[in-house]
Structure 1
Amino acid sequence: MDEKALSQLLKQVKGGQVSVDDAVGRLKDLPFAELGYATVDTHRSLRFGFPEVVLGGPKTVEQLLGIVGTLVERKQTVLVTRLQQEKAEALLARFPKGEYHPVARIFHIKQGKRKAGRVAVVTAGTSDIPVAEEAALTAEAMGAEVRRVYDVGVAGIHRLLRRREEIQDCHAAVVVAGMEGALPGVVGGLVGIPVVAVPTSVGYGANMQGVSALLTMVNSCASNVAVVNIDNGFGGGFYATLISRTKGRR
């Protein structure tokens, strides 16, 4: 239940269309729903503007069906991340309105209309696209208009310069890079918007599964760059979309 649904319910009680007992029944598990193996935070959409997001990889199919079913019953948007193909197929069989995006490993059921600002999702290379798509699809699920700017890394910086204005026109940017991780600092120096840097584990030995990219990003001299964890496209997309809701002027 989100703020709009709660307001509608209270108006229906006030107008006599819904009884007090019925309203109590709908609200009794508003803070959370106990499933035994999970305590689903059904209140998060109301206080946060977006429902609880489900990390799919470690969960069983039965657990996922129960958690997703709980959110669907309450007409909440469903976003399941890091989901394997076979588990996605089980969810699609039960919830055919859902969509599975194999590159990003995201399962999504849209509920209602959400509105956020514009978010640019930028990658250094094509190999970074799976993490970038996780960010982009998360932002779109939250209502953002996403502009994808892919394969514009520092090895060919002219590719980035050609699209600088497109990034600048957004309210926030998610910049995804592996290898040495230099791209977010470069983007941060070119545009006057918040930049959320996402290091990826793409790279060779000294990349250390993304640690070298992470260290480069946290040491950026561009003061508008903040960093999330390695391969955390979801976190980057989520945070950038929260920023975009303010639609601040630059």
Structure 2
Amino acid sequence: MGNEQLDQILNEVKNGSVSIEEAKKQIRAFDDMGFAKVDSTREKRTGFPEVIYGEGKTAEQIIRIIQSLKGSTNRVLATRIDQMKALQVMESVNDLVYSETARTLFWKHEDEPDVLYNGYIAVVCAGTSDLPVAEEAALTAEAFGASVKRIYDVGVAGIHRLFHNLEDIENATVTIAVAGMEGALASVVGGLVSNPVVAVPTSIGYGANFQGLSALLSMLNACSPGISVVNIDNGFGAGYYATLIHKNIHLGAEKI
């Protein structure tokens, strides 16, 4: 924290607009709950607020973290939330939107616009079985202010379906390619478009798929340039990275 920010906080305490406890939180830069230290200044450092990973956390812990984050950001995203846990959280926190497919909870301040940047991210999915990962990627991108075009069930087994949607993929700023089985979709897309491709291997596939390992290795070994690869089933990581690229393209265009 710089001296200017510190001076502002101290002046706000002096004039009574900020309580001592709130000033402590701002100076400390995280909210210490004992079970979690919520990073209240991450958005200022990285451009995006902290995201809650729901697996392993109780509903009560998630509720408290969401309530803390709502005090420091206009957008709150929680991932890997099962339906039962989501219902418990939504009983205590208003205005949350739950996606059963993506297993995400999202809150946005009523004054916050849906879309913050021009253009869109294309989320391309090989098969319907890959939808949970593809939707996690798409909803993560939307949670951070990007517009998304979903292009689903266009795997290489019926590659004509991909060509039918090629113009929409070509015009995206970034493409997320989600595929299981042998993971060939990312390499095919990478050889057809000029925008960056973020490849997401999924654990969908028969025995020799090894819970996504074969798709991961195929994507890492892709001969098409311009492809980066995230971990197996990591739709969140793909959505975050794609939005980071998308945002910086938008900000760079503004400076020209």
When normalised by structure 2's length, the TM-score is: 0.87
Question: Secondary structure of the residue that 2:149 maps to in structure 1?
Answer: strand
What is the match of residue 78 of structure 2?
Answer: 80
Question: Secondary structure of the residue that 2:141 maps to in structure 1?
Answer: helix
Q: What is the rounded CA distance, in whole Å, between the counterparts of 2:73 and 2:199 in structure 1?
A: 32
Candidates 69, 72, 86, aligned match of 1:71 = 69
Question: Secondary structure of the residue that 1:120 maps to in structure 2?
Answer: strand
Question: Secondary structure of the residue that 2:191 maps to in structure 1?
Answer: helix
One-letter identity of the residue aligned with 2:46:
F
The unaligned stretches of length 5 or more in structure 1 are 1-5
Give the alignment of 1:1-250 within 5 angstroms. 19=15, 22=18, 26-30=22-26, 31-111=29-109, 112-113=112-113, 115-116=116-117, 117-247=119-249
One-letter identity of the residue aligned with 1:118:
Y
Change (3 A) 1:232 1:87: same
When normalised by structure 1's length, the TM-score is: 0.89
Question: Secondary structure of the residue that 1:80 maps to in structure 2?
Answer: strand
Following TM superposition, the consecutive aligned residue runs of length 4 or more in structure 1 with deviations greater than 6 angstroms are none
Q: What is the rounded CA distance, in whole Å, between the counterparts of 2:246 and 2:17 in structure 1?
A: 39
Q: How far 1:75 sits from its partner (Å)? A: 4.2
Question: Secondary structure of the residue that 1:240 maps to in structure 2?
Answer: helix
Change (3 A) 1:75 1:228: closer
Q: Which is further off, 23-32 or 193-202?
A: 23-32
Query: CA deviation digits over 1:24-66, x for unaligned, max 9?
Result: 6544313111000000000101111221000012101121111
The unaligned stretches of length 5 or more in structure 2 are none
Q: Which is further off, 174-183 or 72-81?
A: 72-81
Q: What is the rounded CA distance, in whole Å, between the counterparts of 2:137 and 2:222 in structure 1?
A: 21
How much identity, in percent, do the aligned residues show? 51
Number of equivalenced pairs: 240
Q: What is the rounded CA distance, in whole Å, between the counterparts of 2:167 and 2:20 in structure 1?
A: 51
Query: CA deviation digits over 1:83-127, x for unaligned, max 9?
Result: 011111111111120011000000000132362341100001111
